[in-house]
Chains A and B, each alone.
Chain A
């Protein structure tokens, strides 16, 4: 494989990695936003792991 092809492959690989990571980041942000809950306002017992 020629050096120009290697360079192209590297750049494409980098771009794909960037797209994948950006997509996962957006996915994570959506997952995080979707899980936001109101804090427990009243319970007779406050648990350490609530």
Chain B
């Protein structure tokens, strides 16, 4: 018989299978930022020490490790399914009964936050989101003094760190909320400080893989105001930004919204259920029902406030100032991502609501089966209000294979003498016929095992362009726009080879490369050698660039050491 955690995991698994549907077939699911390749190289780029903005660190490193033991598409599908199973299991364990666990898992695994972040390809965020209930439970265990409590919290902080910066920060907020919320138990200030110190210490060390790299980027690669404006939460329902956020939606990118949420009735039902759930939570004063619910209530409120800040008077200016002027403020860009904390809270509270419905049936003398059936009907609201997620977003998410010419070209480039590669047309996103013309981040940074320069600006509908953060890419972009000096600009930033994708649209046309030495032509791909002296002001050499990873190693050693100390203590005490 499954327990609460097992029930939640099972519900999550079923949700994942139904949501991903046809995309689970062999092949790659490729859209927006969801880019997996057959074998991601273990390189300075995947480790975030190549001088570029470490956006997918260390999650790309984890993928690189895994893709050395299984094909990239297997790794991708396993990670995506893990989101559903993990978050279901996590919130299930926070419920009071299997009924509540199933209902909570359904909300946590099937909601606009998961759907929209999956649609935009932010799998790392979602894995971080899936860790949240485990972090809450682990931090609550620390509060209640369970054996091995610190080791358990440390392990989940390490797992959370592996999902990337966003997941790790979400996790830290959840943990701190649980640890600092007032409670009735009497705990010495020293112990409380020790608990906080442990959590913050493990977090800081474990996440050095990305923050250490950011330390050296901050002065030259700041966040632009255009980006702040572009990535603010938006209303994806007729209920405004707040109504959209309450139900887990509100992502900035209209291209990944689910159309049924545009319906007043459908999204209205979701808003209504969330409000009823909150009303009962307030009536029950859930923040007084133990450290897990107390902390989760605080963390959920923080997540909602951060996501909604730009939609309230004065909030937009404040967020803009914080994001553009404060070191590390860039983490608050695309603030809707913090809504994951709120969604986990709503999931747990919705589980309690369904438990209440079932209990009301039993109290009214209804048959056990009838009470369970009605509870199941009520629990189905997440699916009812988001039917578009089913079967790979209505068949839009499909597994595809890269053309054979891509593998051949990647092998060919990797065999060439050293030198970076620039990819043309100079644009960050592609639409490939083999991928059903969906928008996709250029995959060549991951397909090639060397430095690859691509345009990192973000063109948006309406003509707005969010500037990129790479000075090298900006220099090439300027040359492309000016239509002169491209080859020398490329050489100056270390580019020796140019890969041209002839099947891609080019706003300003593809720069004329006929005078350059062609190396290969394969399908829609053309490879050129720029020849001439290639310069590379190499400011990333030396072992010092791995300092962040050394610090993360210390976090692992610290958690392992704590585990051993726990074991020795247990043995000494005769457990």
Cβ of B259 and Cβ of A35 under 8 Å apart?
yes
Question: Assuming A14-B373, A18-B377, A40-B437, is B429 touching A28 (CB within 8 A)?
Answer: no
Q: Does B488 reach chain A (CB closer than 8 Å)?
A: no
| Interchain CA distance A7-B269 in the complex, whole Å | 25
Residue numbers in B under 8 Å from A49 (CB-CB): 252-255, 460-461
Question: Assuming A10-B364, A48-B253, is B265 touching A24 (CB within 8 A)?
Answer: yes
Interface centre among B32, B377, B386 (most CB of A within 10 A): B377
Contact pattern, A 1-39, Cβ under 8 Å of B = 1, otherwise 0: 001101101110110011011101101110111111001
Q: Does B383 reach chain A (CB closer than 8 Å)?
A: yes
Chain A residues within 8 Å of chain B by Cβ, number: 37
Cβ of B374 and Cβ of A48 under 8 Å apart?
no
Cβ of B459 and Cβ of A46 under 8 Å apart?
yes
Q: Which of A11, A32, A45 contacts B459 (CB 8 A)?
A: A45
Residue numbers in A under 8 Å from B380 (CB-CB): 21
Cβ of A24 and Cβ of B385 under 8 Å apart?
yes
Chain B residues within 8 Å of chain A by Cβ, number: 51
Q: Does B507 reach chain A (CB closer than 8 Å)?
A: yes
Q: Does B45 reach chain A (CB closer than 8 Å)?
A: no
Cβ of A46 and Cβ of B429 under 8 Å apart?
yes
Cβ of A47 and Cβ of B374 under 8 Å apart?
no
Known: A18-B374, A25-B387. 13 other contacts (CB 8 A): A6-B363, A7-B365, A17-B377, A21-B384, A27-B263, A28-B386, A31-B262, A32-B388, A40-B437, A46-B505, A48-B32, A49-B461, A50-B461
**B residues touching A (Cβ–Cβ < 8 Å)?**
32, 252-255, 258-260, 262-263, 265-266, 269, 360-361, 363-366, 370-371, 373-374, 377-378, 380-381, 383-388, 394, 427-431, 436-439, 458-461, 504-507
**A residues touching B (Cβ–Cβ < 8 Å)?**
3-4, 6-7, 9-11, 13-14, 17-18, 20-22, 24-25, 27-29, 31-36, 39-50
**12 A-B contacts (beta carbon < 8 Å):** A3-B365, A10-B371, A10-B374, A11-B366, A13-B374, A21-B377, A21-B380, A21-B381, A28-B384, A32-B388, A47-B255, A49-B252
